[in-house]
Amino acid sequence: MLSLHSRRLFPAALLLLLLPLAAFSLGGGAVAHAQERGDQSALRAAAEESASDGTAADDVAARRFRTSGARFVSAVSESAALRQGLKFDDHDGARRGADAFDMPAPVPAVPAWQDPQGSPTPTPTPAPLTSGQKMSRAFKRAFLSPMPYASSAFSATLTQIREDDQPHKTTGDKVADGLSRMAISFSRSATRTIFAGGIYASLFKQDPRYERSKSKSFGGKALHAVSRVFVTRDDDGNLEPNYSRFAGVMTASALSNAWERSTPGHDRIGVDATFRRFARSFLTDAIVNVLFRELLPGIF
């Protein structure tokens, strides 16, 4: 009889011992859940308090949570992101929640003057020359540069080779003719340089300086050199027809009639001769630009 009651009381006693442990576990979970909900409510209240009265996040966090403002702001932002991300009502909602954590960092804006690839900035336009500077430069290039003397000697030699041989002229006469031809060529060159690079460059407000090509290929350099026979830059840096060159070459070709002299088979005085000299200047200037201003810039 006693043994039967003992067998019935043993399970009851075991159940009585387990009930307090289960109650304690459930109570602890509820307390933790309530505390978490209370922390979220407190976070929202602290954020509203900081926004309403202008109190710094550091002060609110230190007063309510005993933590720094950075951790407080991080907790508020992460809580908002979690609330948004966990609204999985549809596929788009889940994707928006994931995007809240996967957004790339903003790319810093690059100033307009800075090349994002790190390449050097373009070379600034040189300061325009004054009229006095243009005239001084023209006189120096006309009389103090070795190039006009060398080109005049070369031109006189070619002219003498093309001349018809006169049987009555001695060797001394031919040398004198060659020197005269050199003086005529130098006078025309100096007149052209002064008018084109000094007087007309000042009147038309154009830059007489040659602008070298930025191309690395021979074709690019040659094309640029030929184009600069027809166009140039004004004092503001804008491209326009090379009026100063056209006017200077025509003036020098016309004034050459005052000291030119015709020879048998070669008429060098008059309108036709003037325009022939003007037309030949385009070919001559193109060759000079390619050879001496692009390929050998240190000479000319």
- The pLDDT of residue 122: 54
Is residue 148 located within the same domain as residue 82? Answer: no
Determine if residue 118 is left, alpha or beta; phi over 0 gives left, psi from -120 to 50 gives alpha, anything else beta: left
In this structure, are 196 and 285 located in the same domain?
Answer: yes
Q: Range with the lowest mean pLDDT among 49-53, 153-157, 254-258?
A: 49-53
Angular region, 181: left φ>0, alpha ψ -120 to 50, beta rest:
alpha
* Residue 241: per-residue pLDDT: 97
Look at residue 285 and tell me whether its pLDDT is greater than 70. yes
Residue 171 is predicted with a pLDDT of 87
**In a shared domain, residues 263 and 169:** yes
Higher pLDDT, 153 or 39: 153
pLDDT in tens, 43-74: 455 555 555 554 554 555 555 545 544 444 44
- Are residue 143 and residue 223 in the same domain, yes or no? yes
Instruction: Please provide the distance, in angstroms rounded to a whole number, between the alpha carbons at the two ends of the chain.
Output: 134
Task: Report the domain count for the chain.
Answer: 2
| Confidence check: pLDDT of 258 > 70 | yes
Full residue range of the structural domain in which residue 30 is found: 21-102
pLDDT higher than threshold 50 for residue 2: no
Residue 233: in which H helix or E strand, if any? Answer: strand 231-233
- The DSSP result for 235-279, as a single string, is TTS-EEE-HHHHHHHHHHHHHGGGT---BTTB--SSHHHHHHHHH
pLDDT at residue number 73: 46
Task: State yes or no: pLDDT of 12 exceeds 60.
Answer: no
- The answer as to whether 125 is a domain residue is no
Residue 123: inside a domain: no
Asked, for residue 122, whether it belongs to a domain, the answer is no
Q: Are residues 191 and 263 in the same domain?
A: yes
Shared domain check, 237 and 162? yes
Same domain, 41 and 156: no
Residue 77 scores a pLDDT above 80: no
Q: Tell me whether residue 126 is in a domain.
A: no
Q: With 70 as the cut, is the pLDDT of residue 253 above it?
A: yes
Q: Are residues 135 and 278 located together in one domain of the fold? A: yes
pLDDT for the residue 187 = 96
- Alpha carbon of 104 to those of 99, 100, 110, 165: distances in Å? 9, 10, 18, 87
236 in any annotated domain: yes
| Mean pLDDT score, 243-271 | 95
Q: Are residues 290 and 197 in the same domain?
A: yes
91 and 148 share one domain: no
HEC letters along 137-152: HHHHHHHCCHHHHHHH
pLDDT at residue 169, as a whole number: 86
Question: Hey, what are 124's tokens?
Answer: 């600034």
- What is this structure's pTM? 0.59
Residue 259 has pLDDT above 90, yes or no: yes
Q: Which residue has the higher pLDDT, 172 or 70?
A: 172
Domain match, 42 and 88 both: yes
Instruction: Look at residue 300 and tell me if it is in a domain.
Output: no
91-138 pLDDT tens trace: 555 455 545 445 555 555 544 444 445 455 555 678 999 999 999 999
Instruction: Specify the pLDDT at position 126.
Output: 80
Backbone torsions φ then ψ of 233, nearest 5 degrees: -105, 145
Q: What is the pLDDT of residue 10?
A: 55
Instruction: Determine the average pLDDT of the residues in 128-157.
Output: 95
More confident residue, 78 or 283: 283
Query: What is the per-residue pLDDT for 222?
Result: 95
The Cα–Cα gap between 184 and 208 comes to: 24
Average pLDDT over all residues of the chain: 76
How far is the C-alpha of 92 from the C-alpha of 201, rounded, in Å? Answer: 70
Domain boundary among 102, 117, 146: 102
Q: Is the pLDDT of residue 25 over 80?
A: no
Q: Would residue 141 count as lying in a domain?
A: yes
Q: Which of 102, 121, 148 is the last residue of a domain?
A: 102
Q: Verify that 158 and 197 share a domain, yes or no.
A: yes
Note whether residue 31 is domain-resident. Answer: yes
pLDDT level of residue 31 (50, 70, 90 thresholds): very low
